[in-house]
Structure 1
Amino acid sequence: MPDMDFKKALRLIVMEDLSNVAIGRVCDIHRTTVGKYRSKLRNRPLSLAEIDELTVDALRDLLDLKRELLPTTWTEPDWDLMARRMSSEKGMVMTVLHNEYARQSEVPMSYTRFCRKLKAHLKKRGPIMRQVRIAGEEAFVDFSGKRPELTDPETGKKRHVELFIGALGHSRLIFATAVPDQSAQSWIKAHVAMFDYFGGTPKYIVPDNLKAAVIHPRSHARGQVLNAAFDRAMQHYGVTPLPARVGNPQDKGLVEQSVLHVKRWITLPLSRQTFHSIPEINRAIGIELDRINDKPMRRLGGRSRRQIFEEEERSRLRALPHRPFRNLQHIRSVRVPEDYHVEYRGNFYSVPHELIGKTVDLFEDQEVVSLFHVRRRVAIHPQLQGVGKVSTLRHHQPDNHRFHGDHRHRYFNTWGRYQAKPIDRYLRLHLAVWKNPNATDKCARKLAELVDHHGEEIVVQAADWVLTHCPDAPHIRRIERLIAQPARIETPVKADGTEDPSANHKNIRGASYYGRTDT
């Protein structure tokens, strides 16, 4: 050790203010060496004045401290190779490198000296390019290697789920969510959730080359081929995928840092908790995620990721589309018939009439049916339940068909308003119960015929009777039967709403017929 540090250590020991550990830190020597010096000074006490006056050699002779004969040279390892292995080999630590070096060297340096020199070499490596990330330009996405666990509440069996992580390039705002697996459906669902979290979309997405995103990477002989479902999702949001190059981890270094942050501050703390469902674990992830994004960063003047995002990047993101992306399954390609309605599962869905004779692709999920022509969505319908139903959008119809539809709609709407109140109320009830404008239109026309043939009064009485006694089943046939048999309008009904045919039957004889009276 340097002469000045030796004298400094002796002076601190004599002053008796610091422990061996503290003196060792100040003088850059081991605490056991300080303990040895302290023991020598107990046997041969010295004053501070004597320590200052005597030379180092005289002090060593006086305290019987022989100068250590340490080798002046060691077998130096290849520091460039050591630095490359530290940065490229996953899980590599200095202990492993020192053990390998010590076995191959005649005069190896100590582990402490090895670590100190390797750290110094890592600091003085060649210049590293600092990437300038433009606000709103790109986001980096990947799955985490450290996966959360779910526990079955009934069996107690545990299973892993995947953890999706994304980060914006400029603000470094982090998003994380758990999904069941690494399938394309889960991958797309995670992106949709990420865009909702950001409140907008970046210009580019930089994923790794997993199968949910890339079928063939750039290095493949056929060129890069993206996963079709993922490509459709990104087209829906106006985002261009730019997968990282194979074997070039620097292309997605930012998301690797984000994965490390999530592992340290989310995955490891949550591993001590028990979760039974993905929504439950995502609620816990959301709480920890807010803490990461709101945490001040020293290197950025104490500003947090969220603060930088709100001030500099949110306004640069593109607006979300009006409808979120649905991961549709391709059913088949079909030629549009002359009635411009495509059949699926026994129901019919309209497309623009200009596509008659052309081929469209039919996609569906649990809620909607979508039709595409040349990779462009041309129609979207709520999926109909049952068989034989039709979903027609007015802007898909030619003008003459649209006029016909409007005329039919106006007929049962306006005609009923000019009739007596029971007829108008009956038509409104018919539409509310059956929810079929076509059927209500036919009903209105039939009522108009009945009014012309039998007069308005009997039709009004029949409609009023149906409104009173059968509001849950306003069939037009019931009104026709009542008009054909007017006496039935006065017929009582049973508790369940059905007519009691025995009440006014001609063969029924009451007490008056037999001359009896109640007593």
Structure 2
Amino acid sequence: MSKVRKVIQLHCQGKSKLFISKYLSLSRNTVKKYIALYQMLNLSAEAIKQKSDVELEELFVSNKEPELSPKMKKLYAFFPYMERELKKVGVTKLSMWQEYIAKHPDGFKSSQFCEYYKRWGKKVNPVMHMTHKAGDKMFVDYAGKTLEVVDHETGEVKKVQFFVAILGASQYTYAESSPSQKKEDFIASIENALHYFGGVPAAIVPDNLRSAVTKCSRYEPTINETLQDFAEHYETTILPARAYKPRDKSLAEGAVKILYQRIYPIIKEEEFTSIESLNRRIWELLKEHNNKKLTGRPYSRYQSFKEDEQEKLSPLPLTRFEVKQQSFATVMMNGHVLLSKDKHYYSVPFQYIRKKVKLLFTSSTVEIYHKYNRIASHRRNMKPYHYTTEKEHLASTHQFITDWTPQRFIDWAASIDPSVEELICRILEQKQHPEQAYKSCMGVLSFVKKVGKERLTNACKRALEYDISNYRIIQKILENGLDSIEEEHDPSEQMLPEHQNIRGKHYYN
């Protein structure tokens, strides 16, 4: 105990910790420990001198926590409230000291107040090193250890990933199992976390995995294009953690370590046949985790989230994000472009014929861009070799063709004569697809302007008599004037006169 007394004596004389350490042959950490305990006890050097070695050993060497003075108890009781308040935008240590000194006029001055808060923070949470503002950041990460799902039919064991997201200020945590760390699964997990929290933070902090960052850089990392689109949809920012700087995402890594202790041991003893059933179990245990009180604090993660952070999150958008895929193509002469994945054609304004365009498509929509400008948007249709066309996209001559339908030609023919209608119906029925007969129908009906309704009607009647239905027969009948010749009896229908040269049916018996 003589060295303890000497440490305190030299400290009161203004000697540095380094000098005391060398002079007394003690480690600097031991010197720091004795000085910190002396300051925490709030005793004078004279009071320390008067205490016996047994009393000093109890204060400085035993593992028992020294009994705090009433002044220190009030200070320590204020710190948990102060910690939560500092997470609010605009709140500083100085403003908190002013609030403290207003409640306790005999309290510590600002410098001592800040020093004691720093020590309290290290004691309660040794890795505490920065204060996160409410609603500011959400940290995301994958656990190093995977989980397992057993196929019910084959018994095959599949490895699945364990995703964790944590809000910086309240430490409110979300976790789920995910099929992989691929871009689509990574974004889906982040989106599920945002909906679990019920809002969007100002920034999302991921690790430098390929699904988030395509090119690492200490100053300007290149964000994955799809993740960037996701951030724009949710009106937030992606702030990747620096490579080889684990403290940038220490909250996420700390959350993973805690979940290793509270979730993994329980899940490992159970068997799951699907990711859905595994996630339901994870969420049950996660609820218990979020409702447990934080170490050294009188509140839980859930309470802190509800009271301090939830209202600071931005509202969720009305629709969920859909991952966009891209494809490149050249607009064809018919004003359509091919989406190669579905082998389906979509129209674009005819001015872009022969231009190279980019197609961005989701499960429900197809957007077409030319030089960063969107020129067309369609509902996605996955029928191969079919066309999706907007009439406004086509040139005037092409727009007329889009109005061709079987019923349009039938109605047009019926307005001329029933025989014309019957001929048009036969033409449409002869072709495998109605569009193949459109030009023939158009050609037949266009004869109205050249020869009039009466001649066209007679020509159709004559064609029907010969049981021939096409454009060419009508053209020949009209060119040769056969529509005006009176109907003749079919020679095959005339009865032959009786004469001796007719053998009769009995001849062949």
TM-score with structure 1 setting the length: 0.51
Q: Which residue of 2 aligns with 1:443?
A: 407
Residue 213 (structure 1) shift: 1.5
Residue 141 (structure 1) shift: 0.6
Mapped contact 2:134–2:170 kept (Cα < 8 A): no
2:336 to 341, 353, 362: 341
In structure 2, C-alpha distance between the alignment counterparts of 1:236 and 1:152, rounded to whole Å: 36
Mapped contact 2:338–2:345 kept (Cα < 8 A): yes
In structure 2, C-alpha distance between the alignment counterparts of 1:380 and 1:252, rounded to whole Å: 41
Deviation per CA, 1:411-449: give whole Å up to 9, x if none. xxxxxxxxxxxxxxxxxxxxxxxxxxx6xx431441342
Show the 5 A alignment for 1:214-363. Answer: 214-219=213-218, 224-295=221-292, 297=294, 301-302=298-299, 304-305=301-302, 308-309=305-306, 312-314=309-311, 316-320=313-317, 322-328=319-325, 330-331=326-327, 333-337=328-332, 339-345=334-340, 346-351=343-348, 358-363=355-360
In structure 1, C-alpha distance between the alignment counterparts of 2:352 and 2:162, rounded to whole Å: 43
In structure 1, C-alpha distance between the alignment counterparts of 2:206 and 2:62, rounded to whole Å: 38
Deviation per CA, 1:298-327: give whole Å up to 9, x if none. 766535426634764256314325352224
Return the letter of the residue paired with 1:209: N
Q: Which residue of 1 aligns with 2:108?
A: none
1:386 to 384, 388, 404: 384
In structure 2, C-alpha distance between the alignment counterparts of 1:124 and 1:304, rounded to whole Å: 15
Q: Which residue of 2 aligns with 1:132?
A: 132
Deviation per CA, 1:135-191: give whole Å up to 9, x if none. 2x3211100123211223345443321111112223333221211222223222222
Q: Which residue of 2 aligns with 1:197?
A: 196
Mapped contact 2:184–2:323 kept (Cα < 8 A): no
Return the letter of the residue paired with 1:344: L
Show the 5 A alignment for 1:161-200. Answer: 161-200=160-199
Residue 241 (structure 1) shift: 1.3
In structure 2, C-alpha distance between the alignment counterparts of 1:254 and 1:373, rounded to whole Å: 43
Q: Which residue of 2 aligns with 1:211?
A: 210
Residue 297 (structure 1) shift: 4.7
- The alpha-carbon distance between structure 1 residues 278 and 380, as it changes in their structure 2 partners (threshold 3 A), is farther
In structure 1, C-alpha distance between the alignment counterparts of 2:330 and 2:301, rounded to whole Å: 55
Show the 5 A alignment for 1:50-89. Answer: 79=29
Q: Name the Cα RMSD after superposition.
A: 4.9
- The alpha-carbon distance between structure 1 residues 124 and 157, as it changes in their structure 2 partners (threshold 3 A), is closer
Return the letter of the residue paired with 2:381: Q
Unaligned regions of 5+ residues in structure 1, if any?
2-73, 84-112, 409-437, 463-473, 486-519
Deviation per CA, 1:38-89: give whole Å up to 9, x if none. xxxxxxxxxxxxxxxxxxxxxxxxxxxxxxxxxxxx9966759xx9xxxxxx
Return the letter of the residue paired with 1:258: A
- The SS at the match of 2:204 is strand
In structure 2, C-alpha distance between the alignment counterparts of 1:240 and 1:354, rounded to whole Å: 37
In structure 1, C-alpha distance between the alignment counterparts of 2:227 and 2:378, rounded to whole Å: 20
In structure 2, C-alpha distance between the alignment counterparts of 1:257 and 1:282, rounded to whole Å: 21
Deviates more, 1:269-278 or 1:370-379: 370-379
In structure 2, C-alpha distance between the alignment counterparts of 1:376 and 1:455, rounded to whole Å: 53
Return the letter of the residue paired with 2:314: L
Q: Which residue of 1 aligns with 2:146?
A: 147
Show the 5 A alignment for 1:94-113. Answer: none
In structure 2, C-alpha distance between the alignment counterparts of 1:77 and 1:116, rounded to whole Å: 22
In structure 2, C-alpha distance between the alignment counterparts of 1:337 and 1:292, rounded to whole Å: 59
- The alpha-carbon distance between structure 1 residues 230 and 458, as it changes in their structure 2 partners (threshold 3 A), is closer
In structure 1, C-alpha distance between the alignment counterparts of 2:26 and 2:159, rounded to whole Å: 46
Residue 392 (structure 1) shift: 3.0
Is 2:124 the partner of 1:160?
no
- The alpha-carbon distance between structure 1 residues 338 and 193, as it changes in their structure 2 partners (threshold 3 A), is farther
In structure 1, C-alpha distance between the alignment counterparts of 2:270 and 2:356, rounded to whole Å: 53
Mapped contact 2:205–2:238 kept (Cα < 8 A): yes
In structure 2, C-alpha distance between the alignment counterparts of 1:271 and 1:125, rounded to whole Å: 29
In structure 2, C-alpha distance between the alignment counterparts of 1:350 and 1:338, rounded to whole Å: 11
Deviation per CA, 1:364-417: give whole Å up to 9, x if none. 566654434456765353133131x2223577x379699969x95xxxxxxxxx
- The alpha-carbon distance between structure 1 residues 236 and 457, as it changes in their structure 2 partners (threshold 3 A), is closer
Show the 5 A alignment for 1:415-426. Answer: none
- The alpha-carbon distance between structure 1 residues 218 and 401, as it changes in their structure 2 partners (threshold 3 A), is farther
In structure 1, C-alpha distance between the alignment counterparts of 2:145 and 2:275, rounded to whole Å: 16
In structure 1, C-alpha distance between the alignment counterparts of 2:310 and 2:257, rounded to whole Å: 23
- The alpha-carbon distance between structure 1 residues 127 and 386, as it changes in their structure 2 partners (threshold 3 A), is closer
- The SS at the match of 1:326 is coil
Mapped contact 2:290–2:300 kept (Cα < 8 A): no
Deviation per CA, 1:237-293: give whole Å up to 9, x if none. 333211112232222122123223332332322111101222221222233333333
Return the letter of the residue paired with 1:334: A
- The alpha-carbon distance between structure 1 residues 140 and 246, as it changes in their structure 2 partners (threshold 3 A), is same
